[in-house]
Each structure stands twice: as C-alpha cells, then as structure tokens.
Amino acid sequence: MTQFPLGESLSSDALAPRDALPLKPEAVTLTGRFVRLEPLDVERDARPLFRVSNGDAVTIGDRHSDAYDAERLIWRYLPYGPFASVRELAEHLGSLADTERMRAFTVFDLATGHQAGSLCYSANFPEHLKIEIAHVWYSPLVQRTKANLESTYLLLKNAFELGYRRLEWKCDSLNERSRRSALHMGFRFEGIQDAHYVIKGRNRDTAWFRMLADEWPGVRVRLAAMLET
C-alpha cells in the first residue's frame, strides 16, 4: 500500500503562541544604536518622509544628499511611488496603516532624530506562526549605513521572541540589492515564483527568502557582531 507521510507533530509549547499573537501585530517601539522603529503615524510622518524621499537635495544634521533619481534609488521595485506630493504619500501610508495583517513602522535615524524610511511586518499569519518583513525603503540619507541592518535585526528579534517560527523576505527577482541584503542578513533563498505580480504594468517574478526560529540564535550573534563593527 502506498504510504502518505505526515509532517512532524509540533509540541504544545511550540503551538502556544498562536493563541496570543494578534492578527494585526502589536504597536511596539524598538530601539537600537542607530535607529528607532516607531509605529507609523501618518500625520506625524508623511511630510518628513516625503522630504527625504522625493528626489530633492536634502540636508539634515550631518547627513546630506544631492538631488537624486527617487524612482531609481527608492521606488523602482516597489508597487507604488514615486509620490508627487505629501498628500499622495500620506494616502499610501494610510493604506499601510489600515491593513489588517500588517504593522507599518517609521524608521528614525538616531544620528539626526529624523524620519528616514519605513518598513512593515506584513502577511501576518499567527495560525501558522509566520510573518513577513516587507515594504522596506530608506532615504539616500541612510542608505549604505547600518539603518537597514539594524531595522531588520530589531524586527527579527522581536518576532522570534514572540514565538514566530518563520520570517519571510520577498523581493522582485531583478532587485539585486535587496537579494544581496537578504543573504547578507542571514535569510536563506528558497526560489523564484514566476509571474507572481503585475507591478506598474510590468511582470514581476518574486525571489523568496526565509529565516527559521532554529536558525535565529546563530544569525542573532552574527548580526549583533556586524552592528558592533
């Protein structure tokens, strides 16, 4: 007789977080050495975020960016943007804030105290103990700093401490910068989902990455060391 195996049974301790985790992730503030993640507040954050993401030259404290191509440096591989006005960006941020299985965060650069980007917990499925880090973008003011590394570290640490067993990272398969970043931070590549979306009238094949709870202790040590150097 043909055998149809079953997946391993999970312990009651492993399954217990499903009863405590909300459908919309909690509004927590997470602080590191370089960034602070605060729950997105559209009224507070829309104008400062537009200032650092619209392509105009900008100086905040000791950080400066010459005028730049915002579409190329920030928005190219995202399903939205660039935004022509504060109002347009505010409407977009509001849609993220209102999404049921998502918690949007504003990234504050601690060196300047200014908003410098945004990212989200997304695709939250407590019943399966998995969640995604998504909608990630940063102003050129903090690109090539430790902002992305520490922001991701803080979200990973928080999620695994809450009891999630799988963290996902997905990006356009053509987004080499995001793919390198995922691998650099310890995510494992799972493959390409062809014709996953139509984004801005173009085909998007999606690269999938993941990190599991039993991998986190080793990754945590390595990321902490990277943040110290």
How do residues 28-65 score in pLDDT, each as one tens digit? Answer: 999 999 999 999 999 999 999 999 999 999 999 999 99
Q: Is residue 11 part of a domain?
A: no
Instruction: Tell me the HSE value of 29 on the side-chain side, using a 13 A CA sphere.
Output: 5
Domain with 177 in it: 24-228
In a domain? residue 31: yes
The 10s digit of each residue's pLDDT in 3-13 is 889 999 999 98
User: What pLDDT does residue 189 have?
Assistant: 98
Would you report the helix, strand and coil content of the chain in percent, each value rounded to 5? 35, 30, 35
pLDDT over 80 at 88, yes or no: yes
Q: How many domains does the chain have?
A: 1
For the ranges 9-23, 120-134, 188-202, the lowest mean pLDDT is seen at: 9-23
The whole-number average pLDDT for the span 112-134 is 98
Residue 101: pLDDT over 70: yes
Task: Answer yes or no: is 62 within a domain.
Answer: yes
Domain annotation covers residue 141: yes
Task: Report whether pLDDT(2) > 90.
Answer: no
| Average pLDDT of span 120-128 | 98
Residue 14 lies in a domain: no
Distance CA 68, CA 83 (A): 14
Q: Is residue 12 part of a domain?
A: no
% of the chain surpassing 90 pLDDT: 96
Which CATH number fits the domain that encloses residue 52? 3.40.630.30
The reported pLDDT for the residue numbered 174 is 98
What does the pLDDT read at residue 3?
A: 83
In angstroms, the CA 40 to CA 43 distance is 9
| Residue 195 included in any domain | yes
Written as one string, the DSSP assignment of 54-91 is SSS-EEETTEEE----HIIIIITTSSS---SSHHHHHH
Does residue 8 lie within any of the structural domains? no
Residue 1 confidence class, pLDDT cut points 50, 70, 90:
low
Mean pLDDT of 14-30: 96
